[in-house]
C-alpha cells in the first residue's frame, strides 16, 4: 500500500518520468506494487531517499507531503468506509486510531502498524504519543495530521514536543484545532 501510494503521489505531482528516475535511483525493479503484498521497509526508505535526491528536497518534506497524500488520496479512496467509522471529529478520530489500525490489520495481517495513544487536554486539544519500530517517520505523521485537519475541515496546529531522534523514548505531538472558516 505504502509503496504504491508513493508511486501515485510522485506520478500525480511530478509525472511518470520523475517516478521512473526515482525508481531507478532507488534500485527498485518492481513495475507495480500489489497492495495486499508485504514489502521490506527498506524499499520505502530507498524510494523516499531517491525522491529527495531527484526532486532536490529534504526527505522530511517528501515524507510530510506523502503523509498528507496518504490521508487525502490513498486512505480516502481505498479505505473511506473505515475512515467514516473512525469518528465524526478530529479528536474522536485520533482517540480511535488504535481501533482503526486493529481493523486494518484484520485486512492485512502482515501489517505492523505504529501505536498511538492520546491524552485529551481539552475539547479541541490533545497530546498524541507515537511509537513505531520504524525510525525517521515523524514528518510523515505530521503530514498525516495535517491531512486529517483538511479532511475534518479544521485548522490544526501541531507541536512536536518530544522526539525519538533526539533521545526521547518515543515521539510526542501536541495537537490543537479550531473550526476552519469557510
CB-based contacts of 120, cutoff 8 Å, min separation 6: 91, 95, 126
List the pLDDT tens digit at each of the 182 positions of the chain.
788 889 999 999 999 999 999 999 999 987 778 766 778 889 999 999 999 999 999 999 999 999 999 999 987 777 666 677 788 899 999 998 877 766 666 666 667 788 999 999 999 999 999 999 898 999 999 999 999 999 999 999 999 999 999 999 999 999 999 987 76
Residues of the chain with CATH 3.90.1520.10: 86-179
- Rounded Cα gap, residues 162 and 56, in angstroms: 28
For the entire predicted model, the pTM comes to 0.90
| Domain 86-179 grouped into CATH 3.90.1520.10 | yes
Q: Is 107 exposed, middle or buried (0-12, 13-18, 19+ CB in 10 A)?
A: exposed
- Rounded Cα gap, residues 92 and 132, in angstroms: 21
Amino acid at each position: 500500500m505504502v509503496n504504491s501510494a508513493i508511486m501515485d503521489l510522485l506520478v500525480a505531482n511530478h509525472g511518470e518520468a520523475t517516478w521512473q528516475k526515482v525508481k531507478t535511483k532507488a534500485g527498485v525493479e518492481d513495475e507495480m506494487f500489489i497492495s495486499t503484498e508485504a514489502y521490506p521497509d527498506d524499499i520505502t526508505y530507498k524510494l523516499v531517499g531517491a525522491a529527495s535526491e531527484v526532486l532536490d528536497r529534504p526527505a522530511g518534506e517528501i515524507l510530510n507531503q506523502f503523509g498528507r497524500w496518504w490521508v487525502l488520496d490513498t486512505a480516502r479512496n481505498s479505505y473511506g468506509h473505515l475512515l467514516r467509522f473512525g469518528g465524526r471529529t478530529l479528536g474522536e478520530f485520533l482517540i480511535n486510531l488504535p481501533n482503526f489500525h486493529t481493523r486494518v490489520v484484520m485486512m492485512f495481517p502482515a501489517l505492523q502498524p505504529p501505536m498511538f495513544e492520546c491524552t485529551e487536554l481539552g475539547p479541541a486539544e490533545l497530546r498524541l504519543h507515537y511509537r513505531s519500530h520504524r525510525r525517521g517517520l515523524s514528518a510523515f505523521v505530521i503530514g498525516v495530521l495535517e491531512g486529517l485537519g483538511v479532511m475534518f475541515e479544521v485548522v490544526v496546529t501541531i507541536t512536536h514536543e518530544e522526539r525519538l531522534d533526539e533521545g526521547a523514548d518515543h515521539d510526542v505531538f501536541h495537537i490543537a484545532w479550531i473550526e476552519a472558516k469557510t
